Amino acid sequence: MMSFNPGICKRHNFWVLAIGFLSVCTGCYSFKGISIDPAVRTFNVQIFENQALNAPAILGIDFTEKLKDKVRSETRLLLNREKPDVEFSGVFEDFRVVPVAPKPGETVAFNRLEIRIKVNFINNNEPEKGWATPKSFSFFQEFSSDRELLVVQDQLVTDISKQLLEDVFNAAFNNW
């Protein structure tokens, strides 16, 4: 015959309360550090305009789709073009190759591809949580000067875009 043990009952109640508390809290916070108000349920990303000279023509469209994918896959938000709770828009301002690491004889060892974007983030539910003015983000990757840009451009743009996406996402949802 089993006897009643009040200590086991207290521990059981503690775990039930702890799990219940964590369940409630995960509605507004995730373990990735994302902080999105539970009232925010939808988002939209307008096509990023490409104003950067010499940039690939599909740069803005490609970045737009990648930002949509990132928000969809890393948050609970649903894409909604009609009256979204939060909105992203932006423009590619600069796409340039800059020589770095000079070598003797007026040559350079490396070139640097730099990309700069300006992003608007609007929170239609709580305007003070959006950005009052667009934020600028930039990143670069270096490549050997003995390589042609067209040969390495796709990989460089992919790598730079990943970092820009991370920076925009963190600024919008992680309050960085």
User: What are the φ and ψ backbone dihedral angles of 122, each rounded to 5 degrees?
Assistant: -115, 130
Name 132's Cβ contacts closer than 8 Å, sequence gap at least 6: none
Confirm whether 148 is domain-assigned: yes
In this prediction, residue 63 carries a pLDDT of 98
Confirm whether 14 is domain-assigned: no
In this prediction, residue 85 carries a pLDDT of 98
In this prediction, residue 11 carries a pLDDT of 56
Confirm whether 32 is domain-assigned: no
Plot region of 148 (φ>0 → left; ψ -120 to 50 → alpha; else → beta): beta
Confirm whether 89 is domain-assigned: yes
Please list the ranges in the chain whose pLDDT falls under 70.
Answer: 1-33, 103, 106, 175-176
86-137 pLDDT, tens digit each: 999 999 999 999 998 776 776 788 999 999 999 999 999 999 999 999 999 9
Helix (H) or strand (E) holding 6: helix 6-25
Give me the domain span that covers residue 116. Answer: 40-173
Domain count, the chain: 1
With H, G, I as helix, E, B as strand and everything else as coil, classify residue 78: strand
In this prediction, residue 109 carries a pLDDT of 85
Confirm whether 17 is domain-assigned: no
